[in-house]
Structure 1
Amino acid sequence: MLLFFLGGAYYLISRSLGPEFGGSIGLIFAFANAVAVAMYVVGFAETVVEILKNMDALMTDDINDIRIIGTITVILLLGISVAGMEWEAKAQIFLLVVLITAIINYFIGTFIPIKAKEPYGYFGYDGSIMWENMGPDFRGETFFSVFAIFFPAATGILAGANISGDLADPQMAIPKGTLLAILITGIVYLGVAVSTGSCIVRDASGNVNDTLSSQFLANCSDAACKFGYDFSACKREKDLCKYGLQEDFQVMSMVSGFGPIISAGIFSATLSSALASLVSAPKVFQALCKDNIYPGLSMFAKGYGKNNEPLRGYILTFGIALAFILIAELNVIAPIISNFFLASYALINFSVFHASLANSPGWRPSFKYYNMWVSLAGAILCCVVMFVINWMAALLTNVIVLGLYIYVSYKKPDVNWGSSTQALTYHQALTHTLRLSGVEDHIKNFRPQCLVMTGYPNSRPALLDLVHSFTKNVGLMVCGHIRMGYRRPNFKDLATDQARYQRWLLNNECKAFYTPVFADDMRQGTQYLLQAAGLGRLKPNTLVLGFKNDWRDGDMMNVETYISMIHDAFDYQFGAVILRLKEGLDVSHIQGQGMKDVIVSIDTSKDSDADSSKPSSKATSLQNSPAIQKDKKSPTVPLNVSDQRLLEASQQFQKKQGKGTVDVWWLFDDGGLTLLIPYLLTNKKRWKDCKIRVFIGGKINRIDHDRRAMATLLSKFRIDFSDITVLGDINTKPKKEHTLAFEEMIEPYRLKEDEMEQDAAERLKNSEPWRITDNELELYRAKSNRQIRLNELLKEHSSTANLIVMSLPLARKGAVSSALYMAWLEALSKDLPPILLVRGNHQSVLTFYS
């Protein structure tokens, strides 16, 4: 069973269904309790006014006297409530004694037949009276209109739950108290209904002369005729009869042994219920405000004294109650709160059903006869009754609940209550993932599911933002991070970082998963992720890397590892994507100086790894000038020009792309991934103003034919494009100066085996496998020239593009050295706008059929 704390029913709903439902219904439940105070006080005031009327002692008139007496009463009740729970408990005990005495007094009176009471409709217990009263006799009312007025009499059963914070053992006391309350009140209500219906007729004149002579007895069929009274005139002229069950609201006083005790009992019942509601509403409201679901109401969360009394909540409840007391019509107030209470009870029932449906191991109801379908039936019944009573009020109540729900959902309060909503989400995710695993992949349902090697997610924002642009709401995105270090791996810190950076992704509205692993080197870590990342069908199928801009500055074995990662991706049947920005991607070295929203509440000072992408523990925002402030106390630290450009470039995909182009250079048939990514990208809000231009290779004498063929193909794929360019001169030799620049770039990485002994050359090649042999260079000269020529064409046609998407050239594994392949990528993509090199795994990802 769910443990109760401060807030009772609100606590149950919010902790079961989450803050969205809890916050919306909690506000309505607190308001309903506040209005209930007014209803009970008006009921009390009506009885007092009735007594004053009988004594001819009215102060003004009926309505205004109810307002005056109600106002005085609610002020006195407020005083008792503010005095503390001790005084409230003592008052409730006293009122309970009076109420029990009144009930006993009534039942005793029903067994004492008094001749003087017969003209008022009381004849003692008789089967004929009970039978006559058994059927319905609504006069200007319906069953549900009467139900709406009576229903608030049953709302007190949650009074114990509402003050759960003041109970010594709420988990034990609330179930017992609530069940006993239902049982006892049910018996009392039914007992009173049956006893009154068995000894009092519906209509009576109160006139002792309305007797029936024996000669007319045969023509009289009413139950009163048996006792010598004829009240048939009441049916013809209803205004003549002021007594009986239908007309006399003080009928219990008339029947009882001593009438004034019944009045005292009415006072006790109404005042005790008013007092309970006056205490419940502020307690529920205080619990709601303490959770800070509605930040503007946090002032009401403050408590005073040793019992943390919500004095501000008492004042607010008093104000609401007073406003409704001024209506002074019990039959108007009762239906209002009936809808609010029914909405609350519907959600209480639904929350219990929902917890069972979620099948969470933490949900362990202790009630022996609990059944989830009974809870659902209760919830449905409450909703149905709401609309039957008053469909307009029910509709308004639901609109208010929905409005509050949408507000809380939009604000996303930072709470984790282990709600059944979370449990059900997990249950559904598990079920659907297993179901999905039993279905074969189909080309129509292909989605790019990307394993993005970001390191810490905030260290390469451009890579994260671009991939997120075409995977958001379409495919899976996993941010892979390989943690390397010479010290012993600290798996506890790894788990902490995993949770911390996952939260950062959520806070930045990035729909991705962060998956770190420990490994000895980058290649091993990538292999781990390629094999193990994801679950069932929710597994990556595309590896996304950032281009290694500094490949010529560091250890060339890192380049060997980098190229091996690309080959491993193809070996594991992955596609490969490489993003290059001429300014670079990694901004980890300037975090804390200029990164906007670098990290949210993350302190990595305990991190055991010397990772270059470790963020600063301070989250700062980008300033208007290049001078960026680390924190409020430190002096400004100016960024150098290179870092400033890097910072600006890293945030370019966070902005809306203006009217520009996404240039697709589709040079190889890789299954269609090179076309699919730009299509997905331009469907997003930030990229929708960009047009797709397609560039393909061809022959000069077939340009028109190739253009038409490509246009037909794209039309069949239903991919919009603005232009198709056939490059007839793609196989032309590159300019000599560009060829010389390429030769100069690869010069330091050549093996030059002709200038050394064969054994020495083999030893050097084995120790430095990345070196380029003369034979290899000659064998792949045409391919090298092709990359240089493509770069010339890219600068000529796509220098102003927002993004270039181009087929990634492949190198045969083991045949082309990593240095030569890296040089190809460098020559192909240097000095260009952002370029995305894409290569599918030759699995078809586009189809003509929808």
Structure 2
Amino acid sequence: MLPERYESKRVCVSARNYAPLETRGDARENIRNTLILFDPDPKHSFSSESGFVKRPSSPPSALRSPGSSQSRFQVDPVADAPKTPPGSRSSAGEESKSRVRAVNFLNPSDAAPDAGVNGDTVRSEASLHSSSHFSDTHSSTYYLRTFGHNTVDAVPNIDFYRQTAAPLGEKLLRPSLSELHDELDKVCAALHHHLSFRVTHTAVSDDACAQIRCMLNIWGVMLFIRMSWIVGQAGIALSCAIVLTAIVVTSITGLSTSAIATNGFVRGGGAYYLISRSLGPEFGGSIGLIFAFANAVAVAMYVVGFAETVVELLDSIDALMTDEINDIRIVGTLTVILLLGISLAGMEWEAKAQIVLLVILVAAICNYFIGSFIPLKSKEPQGFFGYNAAIMMENMGPDFRDDETFFSVFAIFFPAATGILAGANISGDLADPQLAIPKGTLLAILITGVVYIAVAISNGSCIVRDATGDDNDTLVGSLENCTDAACTLGYDFSICKEGGCKYGLQNDFQVMSLVSGFGPLITAGIFSATLSSALASLVSAPKVFQALCKDKLYPGMHVFAKGYGKNKEPLRAYVLTFIIGLAFILIAELNIIAPIISNFFLASYALINFSVFHASLANSPGWRPSFKYYNKWVSLAGAVLCCVVMFVINWWAALFTNVIVLALYIYVSYKKPDVNWGSSTQALMYNQALTHSLHLTGVEDHIKNFRPQCLVMSGYPNSRPALLYLVHAFTKDVGLMVCGHVRTGYRRPNYKDMMNEQVRYQRWLLKTRIKAFYTPVFADDLRQGAQYLLQTTGLGRLKPNTLVFGFKNNWRDGEMKDVETYINTIHDAFDLQFGVVLLRLKEGLDISHIQDEFQTSQEKPPGMKDLLVSINIKDFDSDSSKPSSKSTSCQSSPLIFRDTKKPPMQLSPADEKLLAASQQFQKKQSKGTIDVWWLFDDGGLTLLIPYLLTNKKKWRDCKIRVFIGGKINRIDHDRRAMAALLISIHTTKNYSLTYKKMFEEMIEPYRLKEDDMEQEAAEKLKAKEPWRITDNELELYRAKSNRQIRLNELLKEYSSIANLIVITMPLARKGTVSSALYMTWLDTLTKDLPPILLVRGNHQSVLTFYS
């Protein structure tokens, strides 16, 4: 935000006319980070002296680019301070520090009468939608007046692109497309109150805070009390190699961090935020937990280093309280309590303490280098001789002792380089994290790396590895038996080869204090380095953990997300970090603690590098970091290097770390949190889906690769659950399933509502774990909508090949034109070479009328485990893992959710049976049979669907019985061919007269009865009602009619207790069999039976006997 003294100018930009500049009010209200629009003519600019637009040869400096902007697009800051004296620094210069600032272009002559002082303010939603502001030429507008013309449309504004809880400004909503495009009466009815959010945010004023924090965290305990030991073990050359290897890892990670940080505004959460928003919640959640834990353990490492120094001071004056180990525990416990108090005091106190500690730390480092040039005779017995070539050459190579190796020494040093994310960890407290994180992190790596290498070379050039500290060990006599560098300087430390020496690089951890010009200042530096690093880790861990807990990826952690005070400090997370740190402080061994956190930090760095590679590989338009000095292959190499280093340091610890990350990843993947962060995983998933879909288009169909891909005419998906769950049973993980919904009966289609419902029901399918797509269309009738769906649904090879219907149980109660539409839709599917499947339950399929009754009564039906409630899409967004018990939707379509404590609603016995039947395919099927009546060869779909069903767990206990029709004298031959039970079906006799009479009664209302009327009248009636059954048609297809009657008898005789019946659907020749007769055949065949599936493939083979 701008200081209150700043004010903005309202400027009219015109190619022909001059317009006065008008100063308006406080910039807090006037300037809303609006993107600047310049007149295309470069001659036009502004003059603050005259107040008019002039045409100078070049734009004034106030309108030029501020220089190094981190934004992808160039935005010029413009702001004036009218009260600034001439010659002084202008407010525009101050304003240019902000990433994006601009002025609004406005013709003052068009000012609205009610504009007041702040007429050019970009308003939030609460003030936008007045019923008097809808015309494009009204005298007042809601948003801005642009280029001298009043308009509802909004000019580009950065606040439109903020997230809902953006930390840097107010969330504004641009006018929606419908508000600009729809009729005025629709806009008036659709407008509603929107909320705009402003998050209070306290930013650290100095962008160098990130660099200071990184340097303090990197210059930790290892610099003063382990660097000399590392040189003694590995030598100068390998010590430099160790430092350079760490620098390579951290530099690549720093570049990757900079790329992620400059791809968008960074909130609090540090490494967790960077990884989770780049790779998604699975990787982010797992590494966030580990990174927060590593920071908590790092607190213990730095505090133990501090306590170790204090105890050595106490030992030097013979003032130990108990013994060294317990004294370290006592001092460490008191220290971490003090640091916790400083952290709880708030960021202001913590930042001030860090600056003081940095000054002391830099002074201590300078003190060391100054002291290294001032050799004293009194220090020679302890191994310090000043810079000497012989000492340097002797210390150039390694001298590993006590089973140490290059990699074990590297494991101890590497935590000293792990402070590079200290700046990112407090990203929420930085004024401009996009600028501060890259600059501060990379500069910190460079400066600290140079210092580490300089200290390593200095230590190895002026201090010997072993010294006794005894003035009497001066060399006496010949040099024949003494070949060390100390011998050339007059000392014989050969006794140290037998062990027991306390001084030198290998033995004394306080070498830097010995070398320094003023020893107590080095001690102060050690205190500064350890305490500052411990403080940084103590602040970082709770903030990372708080950000993780806010996302609710893991159960039970939300209690640590609560913040206190204006800065929302995570006090509970501070306490948890304190407890973890205290537990590891009790170990009291620095060389044990350091390797523990090395793997955790390396795992974090590996994922940060991999996230940049992954995002670049996905080629998402949303990946556009303004930091250009990164390369996806370098990032990949960095990720691989981190993994290699992990296993080289300690293979079992690396394996343990990876197992933890994998377990956390699997858990989050299984729970599927309802978050959408636009991660690179989503982008790459889209890329792969698109690529594979395109590749599939070039692959010809093959029998072995056939999959049933079903277009299910489900209506609202939850209104026919039995149909949905049965089809899902044989398409899950096998083929495509699309829930088609034809919306009819609308005078004018409401496409906006349809799109909202598409999102709503797609979420419902995901919630119920039904792997399907929901596709609604508007059409005049069912047939037209089905034609749309049959022709357009799908993408390339991912296209339906089977149409699935529910049987029209109430066909005799409705209008026959609906039956005509229903049957013609089946004909259309066959014309388009689709297979057709019809499901019939004797109780029915559609439960929408019960849902409507329940929505009205707000009561729960008895015995219904899946409660039907109506719920708004907002309820999904609030917490999709917890179903709402409220009916808050303005939609008419209910959704299915779990039980609530509402009183039961009384249902009729028929509806109770319908509800029970609608759930029968959701539960595991009892032992029984799936009876397949394969009467005609349709390509094998009639056999394939039952086979796919029995592969699923719910149907695994069901056996398949295959029935075929044939002649009596071919039973033995067909039995051998089919290996199944054969039933002879006689099509012209042996059917019950009762069933024959029922069939005749069924068709009676739909007969034409042309014998009872004139021929001309009969022809007119047939033309008007083509569904009627003629006498000629009835006689022509009498044998086929009798076959359906006989089949129904046989089905009742042999399959009355089957779990499911699958039978070949009879075909009716188009144009010769009326809709009424065909519907009667289907009804007669399937009447009063268990669940029955009528199947007819497209007569293309879907089964093969060849491998």
Q: TM-score, normalised by structure 1?
A: 0.94
Q: Distance in 2 between matches of 1:564 and 1:651?
A: 30
Q: Partner amino acid for 1:538?
A: L
Please tell me whether the aligned partners of residues 718 and 896 of structure 2 are also in contact (alpha carbons under 8 angstroms).
no
Per-residue deviation, residues 178-197 of structure 1 (Å, max 9, x unmatched): 11111111111111111111
Amino acid at match of 2:514: M
In the alignment, residue 640 of structure 1 is paired with which amino acid? S
Q: Secondary structure of 1:638's partner?
A: coil
Greater CA drift, 797-806 or 429-438: 429-438
User: The residue matched to 1:732 in structure 2 has which SS?
Assistant: coil
* 1:630-645 mapped onto 2 (5 Å cutoff): 632=902, 636-645=904-913
The equivalent residue for 1:329 is 589
Q: 1:98 maps to what in 2?
A: 360
Separation in 2 of the partners of 1:186 and 1:24?
Answer: 30
Aligned-partner residue type, residue 458 of structure 1: N
Equivalent pair of 1:671/1:841 in contact (CA under 8 Å): yes
Deviation, 1:18, is 1.8
Q: Deviations over 1:409-455 (max 9, x none)?
A: 23222211112221121111111111111111110011111000000
Partners of 1:760 and 1:600 in 2: CA distance: 53
**Structural mapping, 1:202-241, within 5 Å:** 202-212=465-475, 216-217=478-479, 220-235=482-497, 237-239=498-500, 241=501
Show the counterpart of 2:552.
Answer: 292
Whether 2:1091 is the aligned partner of 1:834: answer yes
Distance 1:605 1:197 in 2: 66
Secondary structure, in 3 states, of the residue corresponding to 1:516? strand
Aligned partner (choices 275, 285, 300) of residue 38 of structure 1: 300
Cα offset for 1:405? 2.2
Q: Distance in 2 between matches of 1:175 and 1:456?
A: 51
Task: Give, as a single letter, the amino acid of the residue that structure 2 aligns with 1:824.
Answer: W
Indicate whether 1:782 and 2:1060 are aligned: no
Residue 64 in structure 1 maps to residue 326 in structure 2: yes
**Residue pairs, 1:490-501, within 5 angstroms:** 490-501=750-761
Query: Relative to structure 2, which stretch is displaced further, 452-461 or 482-491?
Result: 482-491
Partner residue of 2:872 out of 585, 592, 603:
603
Per the TM alignment, residue 368 of structure 1 is displaced from its structure 2 partner at its CA by 2.2
Residue 129 in structure 1 maps to residue 397 in structure 2:
no
Cross-structure match for 2:624: 364
1:183-582 to 2 correspondence within 5 Å? 183-212=446-475, 216-217=478-479, 220-235=482-497, 237-239=498-500, 241-582=501-842
Structure-2 residue corresponding to 1:649: 917
**1:691 is aligned to 2:691:** no
Q: Secondary structure of 1:637's partner?
A: coil
Query: What is the deviation of 1:705?
Result: 2.0
Indicate conservation of the 8 Å contact 1:599/1:618, yes or no. yes
Q: Does residue 1:166 correspond to 2:441, yes or no?
A: no
Distance in 2 (alpha carbons) for counterparts of 1:60 and 1:796: 93
Q: Distance in 2 between matches of 1:411 and 1:754?
A: 69
Once the 2 structures are TM-superposed, how far is the Cα of residue 126 of structure 1 from its aligned partner?
2.7
Number of the residue aligned with 1:702: 970
Cα separation, partners in 2 of 1:305 and 1:605, compared to 1, 3 Å: closer
1:728–1:565 Cα change, 3 Å: closer
Structure 2 equivalent of residue 677 of structure 1: 945
Give, in angstroms, the shift of residue 827 of structure 1: 1.0
Structure 1 distance, partners of 2:340, 2:933, is 78
The amino acid of 2:986's aligned partner reads D
1:766 match: 1023
Q: What is the match of residue 720 of structure 1? A: none
Root-mean-square deviation (Å) = 2.0
Moved more, 336-345 or 783-792: 336-345
- Can you give the 5+ residue segments of structure 1 that lack an aligned partner in the other structure? 607-612, 623-628, 712-722
- With 139-148 and 275-284 compared, the bigger mean Cα shift is at 139-148
- Per-residue Cα deviation, 1:459-488 (whole angstroms, up to 9, x for no partner): 001100111111111111100001113332
- Pairwise CA distance, 1:773: 1.5
SS at match of 1:381: helix
Q: In the alignment, what sits opposite 1:86?
A: 348
Structure of higher RCO (CA pairs closer than 8 Å, 6+ residues apart): 1
- The size of the alignment, in residue pairs, is 821
Give the equivalent residue in structure 1 for 2:1062. 805
Q: Please give the alpha-carbon distance, in whole angstroms, between the structure 2 residues aligned to 1:262 and 1:506.
A: 62
Partner SS, residue 803 of structure 2: strand
* DSSP 3-state at the match of 2:905: strand
Deviation for aligned residue 1:506: 0.8
Contact kept in structure 2, 1:500 and 1:602, CA below 8 Å: no
Q: Deviations over 1:645-685 (max 9, x none)?
A: 11111111111111111111111010000011111111111
SS in 2 for 1:216: coil
The residue identity in structure 2 corresponding to 1:688 is R
Q: Secondary structure at the match of 1:653?
A: coil
1:796 to 1028, 1034, 1053: 1053
Deviating above 6 A after TM superposition, structure 1's stretches of 4 or more consecutive aligned residues are: none
8 Å CA contact 1:750–1:773 kept in 2: the answer is yes
Residue 106 of structure 1, CA deviation: 0.8
1:540 shift after superposition: 0.5
User: Percent identical across equivalent pairs?
Assistant: 79
SS in 2 for 1:805: strand
Compute the displacement of 1:792 (Å).
Answer: 1.1
Does residue 274 of structure 2 align to residue 6 of structure 1? no
Q: Where do 1:611-630 residues align within 5 Å?
A: 617=894, 621=898
Assess, with a 3 A threshold, how the Cα gap between structure 1 residues 522 and 568 changes in structure 2: closer, same or farther.
Answer: same
1:695/1:727 contact within 8 Å kept: no
3-state DSSP of counterpart to 1:569: helix
- Residue 216 of structure 1 deviates from its aligned partner by 2.8
Q: Show the counterpart of 2:998.
A: 741
Which stretch of structure 1 is more off in the superposition, 271-280 or 249-258? 249-258
Q: Distance in 1 between matches of 2:386 and 2:518?
A: 16
Return the alpha-carbon distance in structure 2 between the equivalents of residues 297 and 549 of structure 1: 52
- Which stretch has the larger CA shift, 821-830 or 117-126? 117-126
My pick for the range that moved more, 613-622 or 499-508, is 613-622
Contact 1:2 1:12 in 2 (8 A): no
* Alignment-mate amino acid for residue 704 of structure 1: D
Shift of 1:791: 0.9
The 1-side partners of 2:595 and 2:504 are apart by: 25
Contact persistence 1:117–1:123 (CA under 8 A): yes
The 1:76/1:604 distance shift into structure 2, 3 A limit, reads: closer
Does residue 182 of structure 1 match 2:445?
yes
CA distance in 2, matches of 1:423, 1:602: 30
Shift of 1:616: 5.3
Q: 3-state DSSP class of the match of 1:724?
A: coil
CA distance in 2, matches of 1:750, 1:683: 45
Cα distance, 1:617 vs. partner?
Answer: 4.7
Residue equivalent to 1:821: 1078
Q: Give the drift of 1:217.
A: 4.3
Secondary structure, counterpart of 1:295 in structure 2: coil
TM-score, scaled to structure 2: 0.72
Please report how far the alpha carbon of residue 614 of structure 1 lies from its aligned counterpart in structure 2 after TM superposition.
7.4
| Correspondence for 2:408 | 145
Give yes or no for contact 1:4–1:164 (8 Å, CA) kept in 2.
Answer: yes
- Per-residue CA distance 1:779-808 (angstroms, 9 max, x = gap): 111111111111111111111111110000
Work out whether residues 872 and 891 of structure 2, in 8 Å CA contact, stay in contact via their aligned partners in 1. Answer: no
- Partners of 1:539 and 1:130 lie apart in 2 by 74
Partner amino acid for 2:820? E
Aligned-partner Cα distance in 2 for 1:510–1:221 = 80
The one-character-per-residue Cα deviations of 1:192-219 (angstroms, maximum 9, x if unpaired) are 1111112222222223333346x73476
1:718 is matched with none
Name the SS of the counterpart of 1:661 in structure 2: strand
Quick one: distance in 2 between partners of 1:807 and 1:205? 99
Contact 2:379 2:385 in 1 (8 A): yes
Give the superposition deviation at 1:395: 2.2
Deviations 1:689-717 (A, max 9, x none): 11111111111222222211222xxxxxx
